[in-house]
Amino acid sequence: MPCSICETCGTQFAETAEPPPSCPVCDDERQYVGWHGQRWTTLEELRAGHVTVLREEEPGLLGIGTEPAIAIGQRALLVQTPAGNVLWDCISLLDEQTVARVTELGGIAAVAISHPHYYSSMVEWAEAFGAPVYLHAADREWVLRPSDRVVFWEGETRELGPGLTLVRCGGHYEGGTVLHWAAGAKGRGALLAGDIVQVIPDRAWVSFMYSYPNLIPLDEPAIRGIVAALEPFDFDRIHGAWWGWVVEADGKGVVARSAERYLKAIGG
Ligand SMILES: [Zn+2]
Ligand SMILES: [Zn+2]
């Protein structure tokens, strides 16, 4: 029995005899059902038509993406530390070559994911590398392939290792999380932001939305909550969810200025 993967959001579901009737992630107002209706694929089909690309983003940080792009098109990030590697966010495709290459790099000690749009094939990755998957408990209902590997964490922060801290920002999803990497950007600190803090085409700014494809903004308390959650952390660089979507410098100032601009626009 295959595990179905939604073609529009890339979420892999638990094994079923027939594809599921619908995808709750896409039915939600933050996403959308594909214009030609709900469509499903499988890992096997994806392996036949796509390859995995690994590219260094900065020393100690490897991007892992799929070509041609699948669904939302995000790439994951492998943070390499002396205490073990952490896979930040996830993708739908996992193939043998990638398991071999990542194993050569020391494997994966833990997976952590910003929000349900990137849960993708997290259980495949967790099983291949014997790793736990850290998800914020507030988004528990969106886990569509349950597994003993999933660790639901609660509260506002969670240490994954020395200098690696999960920070719950909320906003886009109630459990929306970013990963603070203290050693990133040559020790100035980096934020691995998923789309919880969204790098935008003008990379001197970021934005924050309840839905990106459907352009639903957040309210004032949500914006202030994100800024407050990040206040204790220093970071220069912000790595967004796609290749090249990076704020190179003054990341913390960029978040502060962008939040101010946003609040002005919504009358907050
Ligand atoms: Zn979907
Ligand atoms: Zn999202």
Q: What is the CA(122)–ligand 1 centre distance, in A?
A: 15
Residue 184, pLDDT > 80, answer yes
Ligand nearest to the Cα of 27, by number: 1
Mean pLDDT of 165-194: 98
Summarize pLDDT for 224-244 with one digit per residue, the tens.
999 999 999 999 999 999 999
Q: What is the CA(47)–ligand 2 centre distance, in A?
A: 24
What's the pTM?
A: 0.97
Predicted confidence at residue 268, as pLDDT, reads: 74
Q: How many residues does the chain have?
A: 268
Q: What is the CA(117)–ligand 1 centre distance, in A?
A: 8
Question: What is the chain's mean pLDDT, rounded?
Answer: 97
Q: What is the CA(95)–ligand 1 centre distance, in A?
A: 21
Summarize pLDDT for 30-65 with one digit per residue, the tens.
999 999 999 999 999 999 999 999 999 999 999 999
Predicted confidence at residue 1, as pLDDT, reads: 75
